[in-house]
Amino acid sequence: MANGHCDRAELIGDTEFARPSRPHLRSAIRGRMRFLLLLAPLAACTPLPTELLAEDASASGADGERGPLGADLYTFMAQARVTERMHYEVVVPVGGEAPYPLVTMVHGGFVDTERYRWLTAHLASRGYVVVAAEHPANLAITQIGNSEVALSDFERRPLADRLDADAPAAVMGHSLGGVIAAMTWNTDGRYAGLGLLASFPAAGTAVETRSDGSVLSLWGSEDGGDEEEAMHAVERFDTDANFARIDGMNHYAWTDDASASELGRDGVATRPDDETRPDALRVLDTWLDAVLYEDAGAASALSAGQFANVEWNP
């Protein structure tokens, strides 16, 4: 099943569906019936991908920079909670040697997953499969389990062979998505890493009860949110948890196409996104490599905490 597209076996199980050998009316009807039977599961098939990034062998893959792998976007539908339909995106690395570790991304409140594709493509180019579920009204709080539904659905698809189910995984979220990511991390041992992007866990999430794993909180110095609470939240973790303040970055620098309304209630970024994002990604990449690839050099860099334009555990 090249590129994870549907094959006949996935569609129809063990049943063999042959084209009618004679132009006979009964055979023709039978053939159409079989065709109709094939239609129903089509929604479960792997659609054609959209290329977000082409492979680039010249890419250094240094922390903060894209990797040499390409990034393909797939959009799937899943059957959730028996009767519901939900969409989710998966961005997979192209080229290189699969399988790759999982990063689950949870979008912020009223921000759709498309606006994080710059980030998910970046991560895929560095060798991570990124799964991002959608939610009603773009509010992850309404259906906290959607990431789990998306991952469960994805794992039964042929494309899941790109995913290393045995490797450590990370869950991260932006803003409200970070609140949900923290809840997920707190209860799902599959996630070794929790990435908080301009976010912090809710007071009711007992993050202090988990003593393993690693947490990274990235916060822009110009974020319109409550930085003090974000810093204090990091202290609640009973595991390795670090706080990084990105100079000049605001809340919506994590998203593309921020609206005037969003920017109006955010702080004013003092540096452009194309400067602050690489600074933030440098930390994020280092952390992911340390946690998911268990890269000793990355772990050492984290311990040193020396990142340009970043205050480390201020």
Site membership for other proteins, residue 143 (CB under 8 A): yes
Range 220-240 burial, b when 16+ CB lie within 10 A, else e? bbbbbbebeebbebbebbeeb
- The angle formed by the CA atoms of residues 275, 280 and 281, to the nearest 5 degrees, is 100
Task: List all residues 6 or more positions away from 126 whose beta carbon is below 8 Å from its beta carbon.
Answer: 61, 66, 67, 69, 93, 285, 288, 289
> Taking the complex as a whole, how short is the minimal distance between the CB of residue 205 and other proteins, in angstroms?
11
Site membership for other proteins, residue 15 (CB under 8 A): no
Site membership for other proteins, residue 25 (CB under 8 A): no
The closest of 177, 182, 243, 180 to 213, measured between CA atoms, is: 182
Site membership for other proteins, residue 314 (CB under 8 A): no
> Taking the complex as a whole, how short is the minimal distance between the CB of residue 197 and other proteins, in angstroms?
21
Site string for other proteins, 75-94 (x = CB under 8 A): --xxxxxxxxx---------
Give whichever of 185 and 287 is closer to other proteins, judged by the CB atom.
185
Give whichever of 71 and 150 is closer to other proteins, judged by the CB atom.
150
> Taking the complex as a whole, how short is the minimal distance between the CB of residue 181 and other proteins, in angstroms?
12
The closest of 193, 216, 213, 172 to 313, measured between CA atoms, is: 216
Site membership for other proteins, residue 43 (CB under 8 A): yes
Name which of residues 183 to 202 contact other proteins (CB under 8 A).
183
CA distance 45 to 201: 36
Site membership for other proteins, residue 231 (CB under 8 A): no
Task: List all residues 6 or more positions away from 138 whose beta carbon is below 8 Å from its beta carbon.
Answer: 107, 109, 110, 111, 112
Site membership for other proteins, residue 19 (CB under 8 A): no
Give whichever of 209 and 306 is closer to other proteins, judged by the CB atom.
209
* SS3 state of residue 303: helix
Task: List all residues 6 or more positions away from 136 whose beta carbon is below 8 Å from its beta carbon.
Answer: 142, 143
Give whichever of 148 and 240 is closer to other proteins, judged by the CB atom.
148
Site membership for other proteins, residue 206 (CB under 8 A): no
Site membership for other proteins, residue 45 (CB under 8 A): no
Q: Give the phi and the psi of residue 117 in degrees, each rounded to 5.
A: -65, -30
Name which of residues 240 to 279 contact other proteins (CB under 8 A).
none
Find the part of the chain contacting other proteins (CB under 8 A) among 22-30, 95-103, 147-155, 244-252: 147-155
End-to-end CA distance of the chain: 50
Find the part of the chain contacting other proteins (CB under 8 A) among 136-144, 166-174, 204-212, 283-291: 136-144
Please count the residues of this chain forming the interface with other proteins, following the rule CB under 8 A. 22
Give whichever of 41 and 297 is closer to other proteins, judged by the CB atom.
41
Which of 145, 158, 224, 305 is the binder for other proteins (CB under 8 A)? 145
The closest of 306, 250, 305 to 275, measured between CA atoms, is: 250
Report how far Cα 275 is from the mean position of its chain's Cα atoms: 22
HEC assignment per residue over 173-192: EECHHHHHHHHHHHHCCCEE
Question: Which spans of this chain sit near other proteins (rule: CB under 8 A)?
Answer: 40-41, 43-44, 77-85, 141-145, 148-149, 153, 183
